Amino acid sequence: MKDLNFFEPYIEKKEFKIDKELIFYGTMVLIVLCMIFYGIINQIKIVKLNREVAKLKLEAEDESVQKRIEELKFQEEEIADIKGKVEQLKTVDEYIEDRDIINEYLLQSINSRTPEEVFLKSMSIDTASMQIEGISKDKYSIAEFEHSLKNNIDFEESFISNISFEDGYYNFSLNIKLKDEDEYDNGDENRVQEDENETEENESIEE
């Protein structure tokens, strides 16, 4: 048997209604709170960064730090100066090495032109000239020595500056003016030819 409820029409039905205005204001409040929170976080970060900047500034302005910076700058200048001097030394070393080769050739050339009656006591050389001190049994050998040196392509001129007779020997001083360094390079082929001619002359003499 079906139950009948005679009071049903009198019971009020509750309806659930969504308040759109309430949702709007709630959303706005939430957004404002988020913005405030984000602003606070950023402000905290800014304050923290400012403190770090201030700390670094104090450290940079500290006398010990400034002194250390000056020391480092001075060391850098010293290193740069040392590097410059090293480069200069390399250049000088190369120059000396080149000059040693030239000097060795000149000594060999002078030795090959020295007559048997001439004895060399001392020899000095610089970038522009040579000075030779020697003795000889006769003046003719000294003149022969000077004449043979004039034929050397590396010598611009040679002359005897002094001759004196003592204890049976003639003491003499011979000065030689060298050609410019650039002329040495240009005269390499001539030197080779000159050496070959000297060799041929020596061979013909021996025959």
Q: What is the pLDDT of residue 71?
A: 83
Model pLDDT, residue 204:
46
Q: How far apart are CA 46 and CA 38, in angstroms?
A: 12
Please tell me the predicted confidence (pLDDT) of residue 101.
53
Q: Residue 206: what pLDDT? A: 44
| Sequential pLDDT tens for the chain (207 residues) | 555 555 555 555 444 455 777 888 888 888 888 888 888 998 899 988 988 888 888 777 777 777 887 888 888 888 887 787 777 767 766 665 666 655 677 778 888 888 888 898 888 877 778 888 999 989 999 999 898 888 777 788 888 989 999 888 999 999 988 777 555 455 444 444 555 554 454 444 444
Using an 8 Å Cβ cutoff, are 179 and 127 in contact? Answer: no
CA atoms within 13 A of residue 106's CA, in its CB half-sphere: 26
Q: Which helix (H) or strand (E) holds 58?
A: helix 20-60
Residue-level pLDDT at 172: 93
Domain ranges for the chain? 67-182
Token pair, residue 83, equals 């590097």
CA distance 160 to 139: 11
182 — phi, psi (to 5°)? -65, -30
What is residue 197's predicted lDDT score, i.e. its pLDDT? 52
Dist CA 99 CA 76 (whole Å): 34
**φ, ψ for residue 15 (rounded to 5)?**
-110, 135
According to the model, what pLDDT value does residue 181 have?
58
The token duo for 22 is: 């309430």
139-148 in b/e form (b: 16+ CB < 10 A) is eebbebbbeb
pLDDT value for 116: 87
Q: List strand residue ranges (DSSP E) for 31-180, in order.
A: 118-125, 129-136, 155-166, 169-178
**Which pLDDT score, from 0 to 100, does residue 203 have?**
47
- What is the 8-class DSSP label of residue 127? S
pLDDT of residue 102: 59
**Can you give the pLDDT at residue 29?**
86
CA dist 51 and 33 (Å) reads: 27
CATH class of this structure's domain 67-182: alpha beta
Query: Token pair for residue 163?
Result: 């001759």
pTM for the model stands at 0.43
In the Cβ-directed half-sphere of 153, how many Cα atoms lie within 13 Å? 16
pLDDT value of residue 157: 85
